[in-house]
Chain A
Amino acid sequence: MLKWKDRGTTKNLQEVIVGRCYNYITAQHPELGDKDCLKIWESLKDAFIYKNPCNITPEDYQPLMELASHPIPCNKSLFWSKTNDLVHRYTKSNQNFLTLEDTLLGYMADRVSWCGDPSAPGINYESCPKRNECESNPGSVFWKMASKMFAEAACGVVQVMLNGSVEAGAFRSSSIFGSIEIFNLDPDKVTEVHIWLMQNIGGPQSESCSGQSIQRLINILEERNFKIICEDNYRPVQLLQCVHSPDHTDCRLCTNSSAIP
């Protein structure tokens, strides 16, 4: 087995993936009842098993992408960058929006890892390549492809949640959002891009809608003919942030039915 720097394939990957697939279809999205979860697992496995994990190509994942993809309703696509925790707490509480991780493909693959090895048993449970060891590793290739398809499938108004409290800037060209997703939005299908620029409760307020990196993002999107609206601290998401900082001054409610401890 080759040795790498990142964590290895998740143990019991097959059971987890198959279980998640059935869970998604049966419990949450019965309209996808025709999906074959066992076939989907086989197509994921075939994408990487017995292969050198630095040689993975988008073609390896093509069968999986076709089997697992499904249409996304218009106006519901929610992209994100550097807001992993917050954006997914939001979509769990508000079924009006879908991130990639709320689609079948993203749901199955979220937080698990996998990679193969030319020697038996063909799956490396000890370690997998980090991005800086090789870019064409199973995880990176998967997420780039899934993100591209997620962007291509978007229609109507799309939303993106960015982090206004990171030093490096809310919008970065090196992120998946900045390098893949914005360039795969279809101007014939997508009409508007709404940016939600969220700052941490209590700051820092590194960037806002008038910030430099946001201006860059707006320019790129405008060149592709999208209308853009940017909102600082979009209210419904800020309400969610306040759940865990209810006593912060930024979270004071006007209501006079105050809690008596």
Chain B
Amino acid sequence: MMSLFFPLLFVSVLCMNSFSAVQGKKWKGEGTTQNLESIVIGRCYEYIRLVNPAVGEKNCSQIWEAFKNAFINKDPCNILPEDYELFINITFHTIPPNKSLFWENNQLLVTSLAARGRRYMSVGDTLFGFLADFLIWCGQADSPGLDYESCPTMAECENNAVDSFWRIASVTYAKHSSGVVQVLLNGSAEGGAYPQPGFFADYEIPNFQKDKISQVVIWVVDDIEGPDRDSCGTNSVKTLETRLKTLGFDVTCTDNYKSVMFLLCLDYPDHSKCAFASSAPAAQRGPISSDRGGSWNKLMFVSFAGFLFRFALVY
């Protein structure tokens, strides 16, 4: 039996390799988002016409070309942040002071909190971030086409088109943040609320401008049903606070910041952590329901009561 084992193993490995070659998938990650060009150009006009017209006129076709040229016709594992420099330059706009919102492990929460740039401007609310948010893209060497079948993951290579993009986007975003900056961390995250390595630790903090940032406000919020792994003054958050203070920043830290608690409570309205204090009178009023049988019920009751009354009279 053993003498058959290795040949069998060899053959099956060969088959697996040729199977994936037949499949045509070079990489393990999802391929480029379909209709990428129309989406990016559409988002560009959406942003300058509707989301944030304050950024003024931009040439969206030129922006798409600069974006595309950063990664097409190249080895998809050799795309560097610098390749996006022209794109970043032509999409750049100032970030209003006191509106920057950094985050780790809570992207959907940040989207709700930022309210499309009206309350805060996260990196996804800047023009350059808005264009790329939630999209996937990559090219191939020796061909101007986008690869719609698969794209490399971080594990396969660090210098892939998407991760390099977010590196330069994060650096740019941090460099141009000013005033009071906020950072929202997840106190229930495995590996700590302040992950190292991480985008915030490696690309954003090192680019905070001391002469522009007046204060760093840290919010550590646990998942409603999650464990309280990290909080202000403990573990990774303590590491973060110390690092920022050593760098010379004025730092505050709040656990379970109320505004964010309310957002988390949307999915758990009946959880004990989400119960309103009894002073809210409107919340006490129960539902008023219209019952189509209501008038019939009243009629039956009155008739029955009448019957009982007559019954009582007779006896």
B2-10, B95-103, B282-290 - interface stretch = B282-290
> Which residues from chain B contact A242 at a C-beta distance below 8 Å?
258, 262
Chain A residue nearest to B252 in the complex (CB): A261
Residue contact A239 to B112, C-beta cutoff 8 Å: no
Bound Cα distance from A259 to B261, whole angstroms: 10
What is the distance, in angstroms, from B33's C-beta to the closest C-beta of chain A?
A: 6
Contact B134 A27 (CB under 8 A): yes
Interface size class of A (residues with CB under 8 A): 35 or more
Does B46 contact A26, Cβ atoms closer than 8 Å? no
Interface size on B, residues (CB 8 A): 56
Output the least CB separation between A149 and chain B (Å): 24
Query: A252-B279, A254-B276, A259-B254 known; A239 and B269 CB under 8 Å?
Result: yes
Q: Which residue of B lies closest to A199 (CB)?
A: B282
Among A112, A205, A255, point to the contact of B275 (Cβ < 8 A): A255
The reply to whether the CB of B256 lies closer than 8 angstroms to some CB of chain A is yes
Partner of A37, one of B35, B135, B262, B279: B35
CB contact between B42 and one of A23, A231, A250, A259 (< 8 Å): that residue = A23
Is B14 located at the chain interface by the 8 A CB criterion?
no
By the criterion CB–CB under 8 Å, are A16 and B45 in contact? yes
User: Out of A90, A235, A253, A257, which one reaches B255, CB within 8 Å?
Assistant: A257
Residues of A within 8 A of B38 (CB): 15, 18-19, 22, 37
B288: min CB distance to chain A, Å: 5
Chain B residues, Cβ within 8 Å of A205 = 282
By a CB distance below 8 angstroms, the chain A residues around B39 are 19, 22-23, 26-27
A260–B255 contact, CB under 8 A? yes
Write out the residue numbers on chain A whose beta carbons fall within 8 Å of the beta carbon of B244. Answer: none
- Chain B 286-309 near chain A by CB (<8 Å), digits 1 or 0: 111111100000000000000000
Closest residue of chain A to B219 (Cβ to Cβ) is: A259
Using A22-B35, A251-B276, A253-B273 as known contacts, say yes or no to A239 and B262 having CB atoms under 8 A apart. yes
The answer to whether B49 touches A253 (Cβ under 8 A) is: no
Complex Cα distance A55/B171, Å?
A: 53
Q: Which residues of chain B in 225-268 are interfacial with respect to chain A, using CB atoms and an 8 Å cutoff? A: 252, 254-263, 265-267
Are A10 and B50 within 8 A (Cβ)?
yes
A249 nearest CB neighbor, chain B only? B279
Do the beta carbons of A26 and B258 come within 8 Å of each other?
no
Please report B residues at the A interface, Cβ cutoff 8 Å: 33-35, 38-46, 49-50, 60, 111-113, 115, 119, 134-135, 252, 254-263, 265-267, 269-270, 272-277, 279-280, 282-283, 285-292
